Amino acid sequence: MSQEENVVAHELFKDVKFYVVGDIDQKVVQLLKAGKGKEVSYNALATHIIAEDGDNPEVGESREVFDLPVVKPSWVILSVRCGDLLPVTGFSPESGQIFFGVTVCLPR
């Protein structure tokens, strides 16, 4: 990430209580905390689950039992880049979705 991408809008993640599933880049956690996000110890206390691996059992539990949004770390990075929280749809790590792993660039 460039230096410009590391600048987090003040309190961007203030309403986000996040729980990390598996291994993610610590820069993502730092960005969340810099934007006043709070890391919690249990998925039931979270508002957002951050995960790379959609096949992890905790991801399924978080989504099915607690009805929590599960997002890839790219949701955090792109939210910082845009200066606003992006919608969570489209950032799911679960591979069973149509267009999973597809990147589309639209002309202006």
Tell me the pLDDT of the chain (108 aa) as tens digits.
Answer: 555 456 888 899 999 999 999 999 999 999 999 999 999 999 999 999 999 998 899 998 998 999 999 999 999 999 999 999 999 988 988 766 666 667 777 787
Q: How far is CA 54 from CA 2, 19, 26, 33, 64, in A?
A: 27, 14, 19, 23, 13
4-82 in CATH: which number? 3.40.50.10190
CA distances, 23 to each of 4, 11, 63 (Å): 24, 25, 18
Contact between 32 and 17 (Cβ < 8 Å): no
pTM of the model: 0.82
